[in-house]
Amino acid sequence: MLREKINILIEKFTEAWTACMICMVQGDLSVLTLSHAYTASHTGIIAGIALVVTSFLPYNNVWIGIFLTGVFTSIADIMVHPSHFGTEFTESIVTGIGAMGLAILFHKLLRKQKPIISQNNP
């Protein structure tokens, strides 16, 4: 169980952190700095911890988890830093949408496992 929660934290941190980094620089990856990475790590850890806490709730639907990834990433982004574009909440909403997109991508890529070989076959 502990390993499962650590994996959730790492996965959700990565999704929130990556989305936040890209949105802070408005897609221009050539201007990324360690300061951006540090700020994004705050967003990532807050979103990751929130999602670990919600993993104790009795829902078993991947789409709810993906939606919560976006919601908690948006909330964390608002808490950590002001918007770099648009209105007060524009960047955080875009960051949340980006984190949801990454959650879908990670779900599709990471959950693809090789089929279990039947024990009947030699």
For residue range 41-99, what is the model confidence (pLDDT) as tens digits? 999 999 999 999 999 998 888 899 999 999 999 999 999 988 878 888 999 999 999 99
How many domains does the structure of the chain reveal? 1
Conformational region of residue 26, where left means phi above 0, alpha means psi within -120 to 50, and beta covers everything else: left
Question: Domain of 15?
Answer: 2-109
Average pLDDT of the chain, as a whole number: 88
pLDDT band at 121 (very low <50, low <70, confident <90, very high): very low
38 belongs to a structural domain: yes
Bigger pLDDT: 43 vs 110:
43
What per-residue confidence (pLDDT) applies to 83? 84
What per-residue confidence (pLDDT) applies to 112? 61
Percent of the chain with pLDDT over 90: 68
Contact partners, residue 42, CB within 8 Å, separation at least 6: 76, 80, 81
118 belongs to a structural domain: no
Report the half-sphere exposure of 27 (CA within 13 A, side-chain side).
3
The amino acid present at 54, given as its one-letter code, is T
Report the half-sphere exposure of 20 (CA within 13 A, side-chain side).
34
122 belongs to a structural domain: no
Distances (CA, A) of 112 to 11, 83, 108, 117: 15, 36, 6, 15
72 belongs to a structural domain: yes
Bigger pLDDT: 101 vs 59:
101
What per-residue confidence (pLDDT) applies to 118? 42
86 belongs to a structural domain: yes
Token output for 38: 């540090």
- This prediction has a pTM of 0.83
Residue 120 has pLDDT above 50, yes or no: no
